[in-house]
């Protein structure tokens, strides 16, 4: 099966952005042309993200807004309550995409339970689409078995030149699920990479543009984060460039299985 893009392919992530910085960064992103904004309950910035969207003057339906339900809200008695609270903070009646932020590896809440709640959020119109984040192949298969094919539009996972997650991405492609790549710039590590520096110098593009184009060329959506207008515009420009097959092969050769987001509650990765 082929995947289909469920959202603008280049969005802006807001992980680690707090208070005024979150508001300002989302404002700058929207001014730069971004129409896909990603947040989460645990980021503690939904109110600022929502305020920036409201103040932007851009019609709500022109913005693709994603948020994620945190582990402490997965149980049936808290799930929908937390989503409604999130919508209040975001100052909107709905989100375009609602994700399970992490699978509950402790099994304190059964996947059946929280995926039922996720589907219920969609049925109630609280979200237009649903998906997951940080799910392994086995967990994704379990989720498809529970919800049926075609319900899960994305699995948001860490992907960058040093963690290319190929087995998982191949499985997602088979299932028609679009990957969303977070941390695509490996929290800045890409900027010191001689291979990427060389490609950027030869092509006349920035390292960020080279890496983001490589991600986009694999049919992924991606959500790099930046707080500076110059970098936001530069990242956004990745959509206008192209990479040679040789340069893509060089980037493919950087895969080292280096995982950055690996908390103690993470699943057993593929």
Task: Report the catalytic residues.
Answer: 43
- Please give the Cα distance from 37 to 128 (Å, whole number): 15
What is the sign of the dihedral through the CA atoms of 258, 263, 268 and 270? negative
**First and final C-alpha spacing in the chain:** 21
**H-helix or E-strand spanning residue 201:** helix 194-203
Secondary structure letter of residue 58 according to DSSP: -
- Please give the Cα distance from 54 to 74 (Å, whole number): 28
- Please give the Cα distance from 163 to 24 (Å, whole number): 30
């Amino acid at each position: 099966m082929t995947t289909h893009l469920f959202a603008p392919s280049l969005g802006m992530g807001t992980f680690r952005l707090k208070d005024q910085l979150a508001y300002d960064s989302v404002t700058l992103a929207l001014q730069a042309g971004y129409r896909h904004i990603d947040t989460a309950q645990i980021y503690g910035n939904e109110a600022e993200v929502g305020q920036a969207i409201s103040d932007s003057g851009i019609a709500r339906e022109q913005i693709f807004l994603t948020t994620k339900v945190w582990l402490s809200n997965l149980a049936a008695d808290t799930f929908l309550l937390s989503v409604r609270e999130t919508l209040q903070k975001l100052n909107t009646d709905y989100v375009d995409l609602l994700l399970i932020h992490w699978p509950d590896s402790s099994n304190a809440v059964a996947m059946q339970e929280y995926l039922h709640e996720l589907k219920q959020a969609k049925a109630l119109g609280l979200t237009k689409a649903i998906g997951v984040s940080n799910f392994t192949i086995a967990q994704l298969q379990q989720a498809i078995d529970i919800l049926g094919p075609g319900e899960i539009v994305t699995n948001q996972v860490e992907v960058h030149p040093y963690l290319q997650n190929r087995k998982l991405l191949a499985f997602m492609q088979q299932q028609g699920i679009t990957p969303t790549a977070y941390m695509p710039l490996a929290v800045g590590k890409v900027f010191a990479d001689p291979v990427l520096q060389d490609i950027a110098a030869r092509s006349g593009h920035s390292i960020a543009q080279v890496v983001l184009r490589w991600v986009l060329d694999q049919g992924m959506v991606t959500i790099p984060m930046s707080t500076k207008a110059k970098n936001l515009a530069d990242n956004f420009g990745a959509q206008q460039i192209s990479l040679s097959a040789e340069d893509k092969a060089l980037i493919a050769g950087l895969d080292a299985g280096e995982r950055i987001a690996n908390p103690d509650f993470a699943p057993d990765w593929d």
